Structure 1
């Protein structure tokens, strides 16, 4: 049994599908503050398998321990937390409370229950301004925003925990830019309000929910002047978590591992790929650079190949095709029904 915090979220729900497909049982623990219960129904539809759901907050130490014991889980995949960079700058204490305090409470509950296998959802934001590219796992760690700082604080907490007790088995997965949707079109990214990320914003322009895309800066030292990022299909990312769970069965330690495609694509690369996938025009307007945005970054994912036997397999074209299928089938997200 795998205990998945935030399992109704975008990456969490796709990971539940892959865990179930790999023959594992899943208990989802989620407070549904930024997700929909319908996502779990879609997991059940896709897999034809049962999912236990416990509604709760990871800051609830007593409820968390009770849920963990009830589940009988032997490992935890930890997604629960807040993730919007801009919002984290506006309400930093809320981010420290949810992300750092929530993880502390989770670790306390795991320790009390004797569950010491953990896959943690971290982020490439812990690398900060690149000193060299691609980012390798031994790059200096220095977050440039509150969201990234909370991830880095948690990573340090996990490393300290493992140093104090070598029986912990921890995989710290540093994501790059997850996009895409399940190929059935039944599951995808369903942001509340205005999307913070590029792909769902582009998809909402294509489906007519928004008039145009704002491209923040076209004067970066990149091939077309727009920011370059490492986009990874959410299904590839989900499979990486399954591989990490399997890796921990035979390895102790606290291992940081990049999960990225290992190639950079610009904002306009993504726009053009989405136009090709959807047959729709994506109008865009160039705006000024946003404070804190980096010119370019992408992953060195060779450690994931070496340790997990994992590599990203799905192309940018497939990421766009799957996103468009999800958006067409669910123009209003999970609330629209399907």
Structure 2
């Protein structure tokens, strides 16, 4: 079995991807500093898969620690890199935290593993800013980022592109995904942010269960059908499967260049108010929400053209908004009874 390193593997997307890699026959080793995740996720992964995945608690900003880890794990053939600070709003308030964490971790991995690997990078649709045309394709111009978080993704892509240009042993796919939501079908893992959620869906579920107060809809004066911001929401399990497809593409050397990018989404935009309505319909819970001002760093609307990933990765999103809301709610109810 190929041995794959998953950084940030106890996090939301990382933990779901670990399960999909395991189902696909890979040996997985997880690295995480647990800054925005919980060690109990390893127990949850065991409950689902029957396996205890190898885990190393490590901060990828620590150059010496990463070098030592790489020397001890030369049999790793691929890396899926999730570990990063990821909240748009917080990045506006604490830009240096984002630049330090997101760049040091990436560079330390590349240097320590001598740029010899298959590398799947967790990028984001934030690299597009507010696109001129929708749905946005991978060939759309990358505009000035709306937030430091978005800027870290843009620059990280540049680092990877420029590095692959001079190193044929490094093969990279950057997945520019849209808004991951939902939870595993078992309701044993899902999105578990530390503190107040920065993302919409966990705030909705925590509000509905009584853990948070009213939901704030940031802006109802956008030029959209109902005035609220529009995003392309993707079920986290579909997203996890896309990472496995990307890794296989690299392994099988199907790419015609060393650096590729793919949009990962449903190809359909859904507004914040539509999300609220879908949650209420599926769960029967009435949400308490209020309209607030627009939030710094947010774009009006973005959703992706996913034809390239459908055709070249042989991947397609299968789970809809209702399943996203249903699974997220089942997860929220689970952790109320079984707190982490």
TM-score of Structure 1 vs Structure 2, range by shorter chain: over 0.9
Alpha-carbon distance in structure 1 between the residues aligned to 2:140 and 2:281: 36
Where do residues 4-19 of structure 1 align in structure 2 (5 Å cutoff)? 4-19=6-21
195, 198, 204: which one aligns with 1:196 = 198
Instruction: Please provide the CA RMSD for this pair.
Output: 1.3
Q: Distance in 1 between matches of 2:116 and 2:146?
A: 33
> Aligned match of 1:299 in 280, 300, 304?
304
Answer yes or no: is the 8 Å Cα contact 1:277–1:324 preserved in 2: no
C-alpha contact 1:20 1:49 (8 A) present in aligned 2:
no
Superposition pairs of residues 159-174 of structure 1, within 5 angstroms: 159-174=161-176
**Structure 1 residue 115: Cα displacement:** 3.4
Residues 127-146 of structure 1 aligned to structure 2 (within 5 Å): 127-142=128-143, 143-146=145-148
- Is 1:73 the counterpart of 2:76? The answer is yes
Question: Which residue number in structure 2 is paired with residue 256 of structure 1?
Answer: 261
What TM-score comes out, normalization by structure 1 length? 0.96
1:323 aligns with 2:328: yes
Unaligned runs of 5+ in 2: none
Deviation of 1:174 after TM superposition, in Å, equals: 0.5
Distance (Å, rounded) in 2 between the aligned partners of 1:65 and 1:308: 32
Aligned to 1:170, what secondary structure does the other structure show? strand
Shift of 1:70: 3.0
* TM-aligned CA distance change 1:277 to 1:68, over 3 Å: farther
Shift of 1:132: 0.8
Instruction: Tell me the distance in 2 between the aligned counterparts of 1:299 and 1:109.
Output: 34
What secondary structure sits across from 1:74 in the alignment?
strand
The answer to whether the aligner puts 1:85 opposite 2:88 as a matched pair is yes
- Secondary structure of 1:120's counterpart equals strand
C-alpha distance in structure 2 between counterparts of 1:27 and 1:115, whole Å: 18
1:86-106 superposed Cα distances (whole Å, 9 cap, x missing partner): 111122111111001211111
CA distance in 1, matches of 2:299, 2:98: 22
Query: Does residue 216 of structure 2 align to residue 214 of structure 1?
Result: yes
Asked if 2 retains the 8 angstrom alpha-carbon contact of 1:3 and 1:68, the reply is no
Q: Is the 8 A contact 1:172 1:257 kept in 2?
A: yes
1-side partners of 2:213 and 2:159: how far apart? 44
Residue 107 of structure 2 corresponds to residue 104 of structure 1 = yes
Structure 2: how far apart are the matches of 1:101 and 1:87?
18
Structure 1 CA distance for aligned equivalents of residues 33 and 297 of structure 2 = 30
- TM value normalised by structure 2: 0.95
Aligned residues of 1:73 and 1:115 also touching (Cα < 8 A): no
| TM-superposed deviation, 1:271 | 0.6
Note the alpha carbon deviations across 1:114-147, whole angstroms, 9 max, x for none. Answer: 6321000001001112111111111111211100
Deviation at 1:166, TM superposition (A): 2.1
- Partners of 2:202 and 2:23 in 1: how far apart? 26
Which residue among 216, 224, 227 is the counterpart of 2:226? Answer: 224
